[in-house]
Amino acid sequence: MDQLPEDLLADLDVTGVQSLSGGDTAAAYRLNTPDGPLFAKTMLDAPAGVLELEAAGLEALRSAAPPELSVPRVIRVTGQGLVLEWIDESYGAGGSATEAECGSGLAQIHRAEAPHVGGLDPELPQRIGSFPVDLSPTDNWADFLLHRRIEPLLRTAVESGKLDADAQDLLDELAPRAAELAGPVEPPSLLHGDLWAGNRVVDSSGRNWLIDPSSFYGHREYDLAMMLLFGGFGEACFNAYDDVYPLADGWRERVPGTSCRRCWCTRFVSAVATEIRS
């Protein structure tokens, strides 16, 4: 218990703490209380506002999520930690019904009205995850994705030695086709922002939960691309999504899955995603 910030535990009546595995940049804990367990994560050297951004993303997703898709309730957020509702996680794969509920639930989140492309709140820090990015409102998704999201991330990755300088050639190939590859013009959606399989949890009752968002407003195919890039979501998930919020023609070509490893755009996204995760 001494390892956790005092202000994170204040008035929670914590009777015991158990360290949990997982997490690249944060420490995770189970907090035992008389009213049941809670989940805590700490980032003692967190960049300013990162945890507040995560909390805002969780609250936005929770407000938009339908009954079949859950998002943990934020109990407390500080500059160094988060306390969330506990999830009794199942380590077995969910069935087709679980996959379908994930897809239909995500589609309903994406259908909720969003005001613009960009950040959730101008008062929040300008970041996606820990990476600084211009989130000021815009109506041009392709320009946002190319010049505010991919280009700065690529430049940082090259300068830090995490990507070869030849990656710039991929960006040069991408730029003339940005409007085509970024997806057709659609109303913006509330995005999870980091929806790989590890950030979808299935609990012991087979219920889906979304965790660890890097939320902002943008094109919904951004979330689908992340889901396909690393796998872990069944075909029933995508079919149910399409039933609730039909996807535009050609969406699979714009966000190729793991079977398309030779596609230059998949190589590019994979390289950039490696930098995001690091």
In tens, the pLDDT along 141-189 reads 999 999 998 898 888 888 988 888 888 888 888 889 888 888 899 999 9
The per-residue pLDDT of the chain, averaged, comes to: 88
Single out the catalytic residue among 194, 212, 242, 249.
Answer: 194
Of 228 and 273, the structure prediction assigns the larger pLDDT to: 228
Determine which of 144-148, 221-225, 265-269 has the lowest per-residue pLDDT on average.
265-269
CA 69 – CA 85 distance, rounded (Å): 15
Q: Is 194 labeled as catalytic in the residue annotation?
A: yes
Predicted confidence at residue 254, as pLDDT, reads 81
Residue 212 has pLDDT above 90, yes or no: yes
Determine which of 94-108, 171-185, 197-211, 212-226 has the lowest per-residue pLDDT on average.
171-185
Predicted confidence at residue 202, as pLDDT, reads 95
Handedness of CA 134, 53, 23, 222 (dihedral sign): negative
Q: What is 6-85's CATH number?
A: 3.30.200.20
- 76, 12 Cβ separation under 8 angstroms: yes
The most confident of the ranges 43-47, 167-171, 247-251 is: 247-251
Determine which of 144-158, 188-202, 255-269 has the lowest per-residue pLDDT on average.
255-269
Determine which of 39-53, 108-122, 163-177 has the lowest per-residue pLDDT on average.
163-177
Per-residue pLDDT averaged across 267-273, rounded?
Answer: 50
CA 217 – CA 58 distance, rounded (Å): 14
Confidence of residue 94 (pLDDT cuts 50, 70, 90): confident
CA 23 – CA 29 distance, rounded (Å): 11
Predicted confidence at residue 276, as pLDDT, reads 46
Domain assignments of the chain as residue spans, ordered by start: 6-85, 96-277
Per-residue pLDDT averaged across 51-73, rounded?
Answer: 97
Q: What spatial distance separates the first Cα and last Cα of the chain, rounded to whole Å?
A: 28
Of 47 and 236, the structure prediction assigns the larger pLDDT to: 236
Confidence of residue 197 (pLDDT cuts 50, 70, 90): very high
- 168, 201 Cβ separation under 8 angstroms: no
Of 259 and 171, the structure prediction assigns the larger pLDDT to: 171
Q: Can you give 219-239 as a three-state secondary structure string?
A: CCHHHHHHHHHHCCCCHHHHH
Confidence of residue 129 (pLDDT cuts 50, 70, 90): confident
Predicted confidence at residue 230, as pLDDT, reads 81
Q: Which is nearest to 199 in space by CA: 214, 215, 210?
A: 210
> Which secondary-structure segment (H or E) carries 172?
helix 167-174
Query: What class, spelled out in words, does domain 96-277 have in CATH?
Result: alpha beta
